[in-house]
Structure 1
């Protein structure tokens, strides 16, 4: 990480000539502009933000404007909002020449925050926790597939016939990951140079699947690191003539990409779960009680729900267990490291929204003094434990019927993401898939 004064010096010396100013859209993608370094410094000295069209928080993934959003529409003219750089996120981007990046918060011209902006949704939940003297700490484990084809080649092939970097399951294999070490090392060292504390990388549970893990941090810092890493890893893949995907379920016969989220609470710089069993139990009980209603924030795409399959390492239930990978919630660590891992989100999760859902649910459990049900022993896939939604349609219905999310996030945020989810479902419902053609073209 660098300070604004360090950036100023680097711009004056020519070491940095480009500053990327970005925020995340609903899908978790970085959106923004590249500014010449000198212009960026001058604009910050003048107290200016960076303008962007407000339709960026009212789009579906293909960048088509969508009706039904209160914050932006054709009727309102699709005006601008301000992206205000958060200098605590300022960093050099080693894999791009002479480039720095800073993440920002989205505000209206009157200075008020754009409430449904994902970073604002998370910040609001962190403020709720802070009012109780608590700091949510998070760690996200993000899996991806490394493919031999470039993004251009994958697109030209219709994303069919793609070649995993290693043709066999490489979970924990040192030899197999050595084959891709030149690429993985670039990511590890690049992220370290971008101010993200790298811990480990390892092969995962399917051919070509990899995972790189980073040091936990407060929820906002971790979400910021998550989106910088996800975008940067794709850029590094492009620069190496290959591609990676964080898609939750790339193919029906592949293991899905997960985004396991580890969460704990700290107070006055010390971990609470080391000594406070009641707080831990209520925090976890809240997540178990609320995740069905919050599914849209945890599993944001149609494809998200195709990852949830028995025996796939992706959970299907809302059960919890001690170090039990078949459960939706796995309790791990001891003493100061004790924490809850939710295994429900996939690689397509928007970390700001997923972390906000974890915090909102946990606080609900604390505030309502929920009791933790008994832990599950054995195979959760074969248990009678309550199920997480298996389709986007179920997730929409749960959010529509519930009251907890509106109490935590407010009507504006819930209505915004309900519109997002309904749009995603509606677009999918109108699409004819290859599966349908293979099944019905001749025999239907």
Structure 2
């Protein structure tokens, strides 16, 4: 990490000349500007501006009608980017570059309620009222391809050269073939204030996972977002490509984002989930927290799976969950309890690698607080193969189903605010609308000659 004094010294020495001034958009992408280091220190460190359509557009950057926060009728004015200097760090994979993340406000200084970073900060403020904080860990899977993004696009993302041709889960030999790129990502991240623990092969050909060190929720969401952006940029520099798409191909495993969470006493930095006197090592607080997750899983699934494609990942016997069971160290369940002592935590296996971490974390905290504040009782743990369970509720099967569950959720509206829920319900419905009117390759193959 860098302080402003560090940046000033490096700018004077000429070792850092550029600062990426960024914010996460609705899709978890980094948007923003490149400032010269001296101008950042002279001016941008206080604030800069960007068009408010950036939180009211789709993945293609097309302005979407129907948002209350920004529209043609409102003139698409500016919002304010205020750098959070605590996030300032070296961007090691780019020469002479640092990066800082920003909070967003309107011109009057009011937080933008629908900005992902602000949504998470609001839930962390609710925890703070209890004297607690949340610590999170993101496990992200992705596929590696031995061709560039340009080549992949020219081939319409079909018949791409995978980094490997067979399942490489925990394989050393196959991951050695991918190691030049993966090592570069690990080391660049480690030197950029995004600490890495390990990397490993995953359940698809050319599929990898790099585990980041867990952290306080906002810091972890920042690391997650910088990591995804940086990994793509590093792959691009190597003439390769990678994808975090939830279900890249019908025949291959999906890309997961296993979301690990626990609550801690903020002042004492002690874990609140373990209870050595409990037969399962779970405190009553943990039980209420987990019960909240189970009670609200349908209502928060949109924040775990924000695209039509996301739901194609939920396939039986694929290591992606189809049932919202909780269990001890059971990878068929949607909620897996793991760890010991201060490492006791819940791993939610529902999110895909395409999810926005700020929104996923915020929904997780909101659900956990609902369970705690209402002292919800936890049902008995599930054991066995959850894929075949008959009396366990299903994870939503479609984006349409998840969006409707969020729209009707009184609890999520109370926790996040109507303005936020309406904004993201509109985003989800637009995504569904765009998909519904498109013609797919599958339809052409099925119907061009035979239909």
Query: Equivalent residue for 2:360?
Result: 354
Distance 1:34 1:52 in 2: 12
Residue 274 of structure 1: how far off its partner (Å): 1.8
Matched, 1:108 2:106: yes
Matched, 1:261 2:268: no
Alpha carbons 2:46, 2:83 under 8 Å: kept: no
Moved more, 105-114 or 399-408: 399-408
Matched, 1:281 2:281: no
Residue 401 of structure 1: how far off its partner (Å): 2.1
Matched, 1:51 2:58: no
Cα deviation per residue 1:74-106 (whole Å; 9 max; x = unaligned)? Answer: 001001111110011100111100000000001
Residue 441 of structure 1: how far off its partner (Å): 1.6
Cα deviation per residue 1:272-328 (whole Å; 9 max; x = unaligned)? Answer: 112261101011110111010111111111111000000010001110100000000
Residue 146 of structure 1: how far off its partner (Å): 0.3
Distance 1:331 1:48 in 2: 43
Residue 48 of structure 1: how far off its partner (Å): 3.2
1:370 to 355, 376, 380: 376
Residue 334 of structure 1: how far off its partner (Å): 1.1
Distance 1:443 1:14 in 2: 65
Query: Equivalent residue for 1:419?
Result: 426
Query: Equivalent residue for 1:187?
Result: 185
Which segments of 5 or more consecutive residues in structure 1 lack a partner in the other structure?
none
Distance 1:129 1:48 in 2: 28
Matched, 1:388 2:395: yes
Distance 2:329 2:133 in 1: 24
Cα deviation per residue 1:185-234 (whole Å; 9 max; x = unaligned)? Answer: 11111001101111000000110000000111010000000000000000
1:88 to 77, 86, 89: 86
Aligned residues between the structures: 442
Query: Equivalent residue for 1:138?
Result: 136
Distance 2:426 2:408 in 1: 15
2:232 to 231, 234, 252: 234
SS in 2 for 1:407: helix
SS in 1 for 2:20: strand
Query: Equivalent residue for 1:10?
Result: 10
Matched, 1:162 2:160: yes
Query: Equivalent residue for 2:297?
Result: 291
Which segments of 5 or more consecutive residues in structure 2 lack a partner in the other structure?
276-281
TM-score where L is the length of structure 1: 0.98
Query: Equivalent residue for 1:21?
Result: 21
| Runs of 4 or more consecutive aligned structure 1 residues displaced over 4 Å after TM superposition | none
Moved more, 107-116 or 432-441: 432-441
Distance 2:306 2:249 in 1: 18
Cα deviation per residue 1:98-148 (whole Å; 9 max; x = unaligned)? Answer: 000000001111110111000000000000111111111100000000001
Query: Equivalent residue for 1:404?
Result: 411
Distance 2:329 2:413 in 1: 32
2:351 to 316, 323, 345: 345
TM-score where L is the length of structure 2: 0.97
Distance 1:434 1:187 in 2: 33
Distance 1:433 1:197 in 2: 40
Distance 1:302 1:10 in 2: 45
2:330 to 316, 324, 344: 324
Query: Equivalent residue for 1:199?
Result: 197
Cα deviation per residue 1:154-202 (whole Å; 9 max; x = unaligned)? Answer: 0000000111111111110111111111111111110011011110000
Query: Equivalent residue for 2:279?
Result: none
Distance 1:186 1:163 in 2: 20
Moved more, 394-403 or 118-127: 394-403
